[in-house]
Chains A and B, each alone.
Chain A
Amino acid sequence: MIPLPAAVCPQLVEALISLGGKPHSIHAGWFLISVANLVVIVLMIVAFLLALFLPFPRERDDE
């Protein structure tokens, strides 16, 4: 185990924003999804759409 000053250790283990505790989920009929997974899926779709619509930097010296 690598020793570290006591003041530093807890900050490396404990999250600044705690994601522990009772899990939150969205439930509709047979469909159930955790909020965390929903956020990830929405972010993936957003990233895909941004990649489609954001203009890509143009090259000055296209051959």
Chain B
Amino acid sequence: MSARPEPPSWTGRVRHAVFSAYPPEQLLPERQPAYVSSWIYVFGVLTLASLIAVVSSGIVLVIFGPAWWHVSSVGHFVNSLHLWSAEMFFFFMAVHLWGKFFMAAWRGGRALTWMAGSICFLASIATAFTGYLSQQNFDSQWISVQAKDGLNASGIGAYFNVLNTGQMLVWHVILLPLALILLVMAHILLVRRRGVCPPLPAKEPRSPVPENPDYPRSPDPAAEWTGAKRRYDLIKELVSALGVVVLAAVVLSTLFSSPDEKSVTVARWANANPTDFLTTAVAELDKTSGVATYGPPYTHTPGAGQTIVGSFSLARLVGVHIPIDTARDFVLAPLGIAAKSNPPLTTALASYGSASPAQRSAWTSAYAKALDGVSFSGGAPVVAPGNYGPVAPMMSDLLAQAQSGGLDGALIATSHFYQTDYTKPLLFLSDGAYLEGLAEKQNLLGSQWGMMNETGNYPGQAWLWGYAFWYQIRPFKTSDNADAQIWAIMGLLSLGLVLVPFLPGIRSLPRHLRVYRLIWRDYYRRAEATRE
């Protein structure tokens, strides 16, 4: 009696599929094709080593919490290691990308490898971006209030709120690193599956000559390599690269540390520039400020919201998801807290609340004009006599509340105990001139290519030059819809980067530019030697 063969189990099928696609000798080979003999090949592993350093230092920062590095010298040093590892990660990745482009490394069924790698690059930018937002210092504040416009214009900002520090922190320490690590693993597995792309064809000889099978003149990129091979210890290469990267990160961190420009509080703003604070506050109260008239995702302002082409607006399509009433959220609600122990303020708020919209507007307009000649006596604002109604005492109390630090707390107060969302105070700060003035001194304005820059003389996000560039030229320089239009352009360019293997003209550039002749010069020398 013969036993019936067991049907294959799911486990067996998965094991068979994995080991068929990745036999151990293919996953971790000890030899590589002879053409893998250029320093350009080491930038891939240097990128991987830098990623390991970034993740490792990031894990230490996560263990001790987001505020640790601001108050601990050890924490600051670990943050420096994280920063410089990230700088090296982008540095090596960019050179790796250049090298692979000039090799036309997508040939022979390797388009998916290129696509995974270029998506890694884009995911890395997103991860670094959320890292800048999670620093909890002036840099984070400025980057978030600037970046919100692009994200809001593309409709993304309604769900991916860069002013919500808690949301950004979770994206930075969990979601994006996880996605990036999975993408990098997919990229590496694709490289191992397909092997390293062979050289582009060598020059054809003038007369037919026999070919050395070890160094074929026109290797088929889709076929398995059967030519000469050389020893290549991948693990030793990775460990060596990791040593180099860690040593460099320690040296750079010791020499240069990392920037940590102190964050701006509403109290600091109100004390440093009370006139600017009052001017902004009264504009929030009468709803004429930038935020009050912003449109989606904050307000239902008719016609507001950037358009990409004609009247097509992704921001309007998505709608208001983070409703902000500047009068209530920035002025009246905080004053309501102070009024509980301030009877005259209670009376003033009641008077303002019961007035007609026209009357309120007349009071705020008159007070805003009077602020041109404001002076301060004992910290309280003094304006020329006029019909300001309850607005003058309200603004005076709001300034006192702000200067004492009470407004910082009131702007983030909710019915919940815990709070990680700084949308309201950041929007309020962004309407004033104080924050922008500080950013200008640090060359961080959009007109100063600021999105590429870090505070002080630290290297910033040089890889964003292609994004910053558009803001410097017409028509975008003067367009009210610049963010929406530039994000649309960058979306198309990013798609173009991912799809390079399929773009006629672009995918042929490496053949015309002939940089590959330098990369594989040893190979071509040997291939040509067989013809002599």
Residues on A facing B (Cβ under 8 Å): 1-2, 4, 8-10, 12-17, 19-25, 30-37, 39-41, 43-44, 47-48, 50-54, 56, 58-59, 61-63
Contacts and interface: CB of A to CB of B under 8 A. Distances in A.
Which among B77, B254, B462, B465 has the highest number of chain A CB atoms within 10 Å?
A: B462
A9 to B, nearest CB: 4
B322 to A, nearest CB: 33
Given A30-B473, A33-B449, A53-B518, 12 more contacts: A1-B72, A19-B456, A20-B259, A25-B448, A32-B449, A33-B452, A34-B454, A36-B458, A37-B460, A51-B43, A56-B39, A63-B229
A34 B472 contact: no
B392 to A, nearest CB: 40
Contacts of A31: 472
B449 A13 contact: no
A24 B457 CA distance: 7
Nearest to B231: A59
Given A13-B77, A32-B449, A56-B38, A62 B228 contact: yes
Contacts of A54: 39
A48 B285 CA distance: 56
B452 A34 contact: yes
Contacts of B454: 34, 36
A57 to B, nearest CB: 8
A36 B453 CA distance: 9
B257 interface: yes
B40 interface: yes
Given A40-B87, A52-B518, A12 B457 contact: no
Contacts of A34: 443, 449, 452-454, 457, 459-460
Interface string B226-248: 00111100000000000000000
Contacts of A10: 73
Given A30-B473, A31-B472, A59-B37, A12 B74 contact: yes
Which among B456, B457, B458 has the highest number of chain A CB atoms within 10 Å?
A: B457
B85 to A, nearest CB: 14
Counting from the closest, the 5 A-B pairs by CB-CB distance are A15-B257, A9-B73, A51-B39, A59-B230, A36-B459
B95 A36 contact: no
22 contacts: A2-B75, A4-B74, A12-B73, A13-B77, A15-B257, A20-B259, A21-B457, A24-B457, A25-B453, A30-B472, A30-B473, A33-B452, A33-B465, A39-B459, A40-B91, A40-B459, A51-B39, A51-B99, A52-B515, A58-B37, A59-B230, A62-B34
A9 B229 CA distance: 52
B76 A12 contact: yes
Interface of B: 31, 34, 37-40, 42-43, 64, 68, 71-77, 87, 91, 94-95, 98-99, 214, 228-231, 254-257, 259, 441-443, 448-449, 452-460, 462, 465, 472-473, 515, 518-519, 522
Contacts of A16: 254-256
Contacts of A25: 443, 448, 453
Nearest to A22: B441
Contacts of A4: 73-74
Nearest to A10: B73
Contacts of B87: 40
B225 to A, nearest CB: 11
A31 to B, nearest CB: 7
Contacts of A12: 73-74, 76-77
Contacts of A62: 34, 228-230
Given A13-B257, A32-B448, A56-B38, A1 B456 contact: no
B40 A44 contact: no
A10 to B, nearest CB: 7
A37 B453 contact: yes
A24 B74 CA distance: 29
Which among B31, B76, B458 has the highest number of chain A CB atoms within 10 Å?
A: B458
Which among B73, B230, B449 has the highest number of chain A CB atoms within 10 Å?
A: B73
Contacts of B64: 1
A23 to B, nearest CB: 5
B452 A37 contact: yes
Given A19-B457, A20-B259, A48 B95 contact: yes
Contacts of A17: 255-256
B73 A23 contact: no
B74 to A, nearest CB: 5
Contacts of B231: 59, 61
B162 to A, nearest CB: 22
Given A14-B257, A15-B256, A23 B76 contact: no
A20 B74 contact: no
Contacts of A39: 459
A8 B73 contact: yes
A16 B456 CA distance: 15
A3 B64 CA distance: 13
Contacts of A48: 40, 95, 98-99
